[in-house]
Amino acid sequence: MNDQTKIDQDRAERTEKLQGMGCKRKRVEDIRFTQGKGSYVDDLKLPGMLFGDFVRSPHAHARIKSIDTSRAKALPGVVAVLTAADLKPLGLHYMPTLAGDVQAVLAEEKVLFQNQEVAFVIAEDRYIASDATELVDVEYEALPCIVDPFKSMDPDAPILREDIQDKMVGAHGPRKHPNHIFEWTIGDKEATDAVFANADVTIKEMLVDHRTHPSPLETCQSVASFDKVKGELTLWGTFQAPHVIRTVVSLISGLPEHKIHVIAPDIGGGFGNKVGAYAGYVCSVVGSIVLGVPVKWVEDRMENLSTTSFARDYHMTTELAATKDGKIQAMRVHVLADHGAFDACADPSKWPAGFMNICTGSYDIPTAHLAVDGVYTNKASGGVAYRCSFRVTEAVFAIERAVELLAQKLGMDAAELRIKNFIKAEQFPYQSALGWEYDSGDYHTAMKKAMDTIGYKELREEQAKKREAFKRGETRELMGIGISFFTEIVGAGPSKNCDILGIAMFDSAEIRIHPTGSVIARMGTKSQGQGHETTYAQIIATEIGIPADDIMIEEGNTDTAPYGLGTYGSRSTPVAGAATAVAARKIKAKAQMIAAHMLEVHEGDLEWDVDRFRVKGLPEKFKTMKEIAWAAYNSPPPNMEPGLEAVNYYEPPNMTYPFGAYFCVMDIDVDTGVAKTRRFYALDDCGTRINPMIIEGQVHGGLTEAFACAMGQEIRYDEHGNVMGASFMDFFLPTAVETPHWETDHTVTPSPHHPIGAKGVGESPHVGGVPCFSNAVNDAYAFLGAGHIQMPHDAWRLWTVGQKLGLHT
């Protein structure tokens, strides 16, 4: 073995020992989770802890005539019953929402959606609390309700929000009707209209991204414990953004923020459901403050599905204008957004429709206009980003369905139309017509790789044959090929356009190297299953040369973690991951000075080598990071502060723009409407890949949630505002039997502005997956003249399509 080979081998061994970026490191979290030793909110048991449960409205819209709590209070074991009358003197019967609206904590004069919180019973255990909710007597006078958002702004529509009836300028400008929330527009309307007026070809379709729910397996829950002597509140909860919750609790309770300790322990999935603040959190806090003992609140599944944070409900009139050879010239979209009874979207403050303006997608569309009208209805509030950045699933669904409809009208292949209109690699950074600067991308390469791998040409040939066979009556099966080429916008975000309640959307990392060379690091984000304890350690390991196994990652305790805006919108890697790298580099810079002092050379004479600084040209003269750590505490250079730690609050200069090419092959039995996914191929480009195993897991999970949304999952209401099917009996969560097998692939286009080039991946598969499934279904029926088929595509609805087309004999 020659010297260079030895050196290379030594370096490879040291690199492998680090378990840094790029390796499939096994997860740290799994040691406790596989043994049932995770620590979730409902696992918490405190001395004297009481249990709270809600009395909820059976009506979608009704006036509360009276509330009588006497029978409930008389039940042995019941300690208190809170109503709006108890909260009002404290100013807590309403709470602010992240969208600039207010939301009732407990209904005062009216209820505005079914299952709205009316009273909060606190009892010695959950059984008694539940019993007592049945004993609270509430007299209602039912009122006409609004279920169809298109009727919200009718002249004779009942006014839903009497509390803001006279406030005709909302948080986002003038309101056109008492049931109107906001109008948000962007783009050049005049220019867009002009292009449409003169276009060769146009398409226009109402695309509905229906109401659904993130539905993590663990529901929302909290435990509040107020120490009357110290005047301090400790609040454990299912919080995707614990620091934001602390600030909100301080603002609404008047407790000083330093006396509030918010702790998010292990979280059983979030998917956007656990970003907002809910009545249950507030009531557990009030209960504990009033009673001086800990109060626990745990949602049941029905409450989760029907009250805390639905997603979607976007009704998108989508238009494209193109030349006859298929060059897209303009896009025009109007969205009617059903926000339910309160505007409780969890978007950055200035973005009432989230980042819906990413709806020009992966295409070089020179002119566009988008208008969004938000309205109130008698449904639960929310509008959260369900496994996506803010309204990005909606935006991608609009453009990816629209290009398919355009291809159909032009008689062009849908893949070819996309390729013809892609933003070219050399156009990045790309300024979109609706205001974004896409940081990077290489769409043509990704699309070609995907098409070659899936065998696109052969699939189309097979489909053509199957269609002929169907027409001849030789088969009852329809074959659909779904395509989706999505561009996401994640990693919110730069302070110039992103804040939550006025707090800029930076994120943070604090890293401390101990004298013995092990590490604790804390971030402002909060994992809900993404594996942060594993992956952040990999970033640090690579940056500073300490093995990931010697690095402990801690999140969720607001007393110890630096302030951060939390985990949602795929922002952990783009923002806190960047903060982690920058903080690590600060440590490395100080370590270099210490190493120079130890080796008695100039800093500039040192070079970094995996886990050590060595003298250039003298590789045998080096100091490992572990040795440097000891020296930092034992014998730092003169005039240097001892210690080795750093903190970084990272303000991202731009969002990141992950993209991907997805293909779905589906076979549908026209007589039963049962759709079987034969293949699903997902190529993702999330820039630099920190842990390929975890990325693949994220893609699998996101695709499964996309499959659920597209193929059956829905929160539906009847005409009286009764929520239909708020249990897992009716709400579709795919089991292992229905879930297709996923094929994953990737290209790597690093983000040019991110310290390690990473872009975020957790939500891409959901965003790209929903339109891919819907396109496959639509493609299957397209040759029969079905027109656009709305989601969700469950067997009953697809059977109905066949029925309408006269395909059943």
Per-position x/- string for 716-735, each x denoting binding to another protein as judged by CB under 8 A, each - no binding: -----------xxx---x-x
Here's the x/- map for another protein, 245-284, by CB under 8 A: it reads as: ---------------------xxxx-x-------------
Part in contact with another protein (CB under 8 A); list of ranges 9-17, 27-35, 363-371, 556-564: 27-35
Residue 126 interacts with another protein (CB under 8 A): yes or no: yes
For another protein, what does the binding mask look like between residues 744 and 763, x meaning CB under 8 A?
Answer: x-------------------
Selection from 514, 533, 517 nearest residue 525 by Cα: 533
CB 777 within 8 A of CB 789: yes
Which CB sits closer to another protein, 108 or 684?
A: 684
Q: Is 9 one of the annotated active-site residues of the chain?
A: no
Would you say 232 or 300 has its CB closer to another protein?
Answer: 300
| Least separation in angstroms between CB 115 and another protein | 15
703 near another protein, judged by CB under 8 A = yes
CB of 732 to another protein, least distance (A): 11
Kindly tell me which residue out of 182, 184, 351, 742 binds another protein, with binding defined by CB under 8 A. 742
What CA–CA distance (Å, rounded) separates 77 from 75? 6
Tell me whether residue 103 is one of the annotated catalytic residues.
no
Q: Which of 101, 205, 209, 218 binds another protein (CB under 8 A)?
A: 218
Q: Which tokens belong to 398?
A: 């609009």
Q: Is the peptide bond before 792 cis (omega within 30 degrees of 0)?
A: yes
The reply to whether 705 sits near another protein by the rule CB under 8 A is: yes
Does residue 47 bind another protein (CB under 8 A)? Answer: no
| Helices 764-782 and 392-410, axial angle in degrees (round to 10) | 30
By C-alpha distance, which of 75, 804, 246, 770 is closest to 483? 770
Query: Could you give the CA distance from residue 277 to residue 96 in angstroms, rounded to a whole number?
Result: 9
29 binds another protein (CB under 8 A): yes
Does residue number 149 form part of the binding site for another protein (CB under 8 A)? no
- Known catalytic membership, residue 763: yes
In terms of Cβ atoms closer than 10 Å to its own Cβ (0-12, 13-18, 19+), residue 783 is middle
Helix locations, 307-360, DSSP H? none
Among 475, 647, 743, 795, binds another protein (CB under 8 A): 743
530 near another protein, judged by CB under 8 A:
yes
Which of 196, 271 has the CB closer to another protein? 271
212 binds another protein (CB under 8 A): no
Q: Which residues from 294-353 bind another protein, rule CB under 8 A?
A: 298, 300-302
Name which of 118 and 267 has its Cβ closer to another protein. 267
Answer yes or no whether residue 32 interacts with another protein by CB under 8 A: yes
What does the alpha-carbon distance between residue 695 and residue 664 come to, in Å, rounded to a whole number? 20
CB 626 within 8 A of CB 638: no
Nearer residue to another protein within complex by CB, 352 or 701: 701
Q: At what angle do helices 532-544 and 578-599 cross, to 10 degrees?
A: 30
Q: Under the criterion CB under 8 A, does residue 739 sit at the interface with another protein?
A: yes
| Vertex 202 angle, CA 200 and 204, to 5° | 170
Does 411 contact another protein by CB under 8 A? Answer: no
The verdict on 43 binding another protein (CB under 8 A) reads yes
429 contacts: CB under 8 Å, gap ≥ 6: 437, 438, 439, 440, 752
By CB under 8 A, name the one of 14, 17, 22, 38 that touches another protein: 38
Catalytic residue among 19, 240, 530, 592: 240
Query: Residue 418, SS3?
Result: helix
The verdict on 512 binding another protein (CB under 8 A) reads no
Candidate list 127, 671, 674, 803; residue touching another protein; CB under 8 A = 127
User: Which region, judged by CB under 8 A, interacts with another protein, from 35-43, 62-70, 639-647, 785-793?
Assistant: 35-43
Instruction: Confirm or reject binding of residue 74 to another protein (CB under 8 A).
Output: no
Our measurement of the distance from residue 701's CA atom to the centroid of its chain's CA atoms, rounded to an integer in Å, reads: 13
Residue number, 66 or 735, with CB nearest to another protein: 735
Check: CB of residue 622 under 8 Å from CB of residue 615. Answer: yes
Q: How far is residue 158's CA from residue 341's CA, in Å, rounded to a whole number?
A: 13
Q: Choose among 338, 410, 349: nearest CA to 375.
A: 338
Please list, in sequence order, all residues whose beta carbon lies within 8 angstroms of the beta carbon of residue 143, skipping any fewer than 6 positions away. Answer: 59, 61, 62, 63, 110, 158
**Residue from 643, 663, 630 nearest 745 by CA:** 663
**Position 602 contacts another protein (CB under 8 A):** no
d(CA 463, CA 597): 71
Name the one range near another protein by CB under 8 A: 6-14, 563-571, 626-634, 740-748: 740-748
Count residues binding another protein (CB under 8 A): 58
Q: Which of 31, 142, 159, 469 binds another protein (CB under 8 A)?
A: 31
Which of 8, 11, 13, 34 contacts another protein by CB under 8 A?
34
Return the percent helix, strand and coil in the chain, to nearest 5: 30, 25, 40
Based on the shown chain and the rule CB under 8 A, indicate whether residue 704 belongs to the binding site for another protein. Answer: yes
Alpha-helical segments (H) within 29-168: 30-33, 70-74, 84-87, 126-133
| Least gap, CB of 596 to another protein (angstroms) | 42
Rounded to whole angstroms, the Cα distance separating 90 from 775 reads 52
Rounded to 10 deg, the angle between the 578-599 and 625-634 helix axes is 70
CB of 739 to another protein, least distance (A): 5
The piece of 444-452, 459-467, 690-698, 772-780 that touches another protein (CB under 8 A) is: 690-698
Q: CA distances (Å), 44 to each of 40, 298, 315, 590, 774, in order?
A: 7, 11, 42, 41, 42
Instruction: Provide the minimum distance between the beta carbon of 529 and another protein in the complex, in angstroms, as a whole number.
Output: 3
Q: Can you say how many angstroms the Cα of residue 137 is from the centroid of all Cα atoms in its chain?
A: 39
Residues that bind another protein (CB under 8 A): 26-27, 29-38, 40, 42-43, 45, 126-127, 215-219, 266-269, 271, 298, 300-302, 528-531, 693-694, 696-697, 700-705, 727-729, 733, 735-737, 739, 741-744
Q: Which residues are catalytic?
A: 240, 387-388, 763
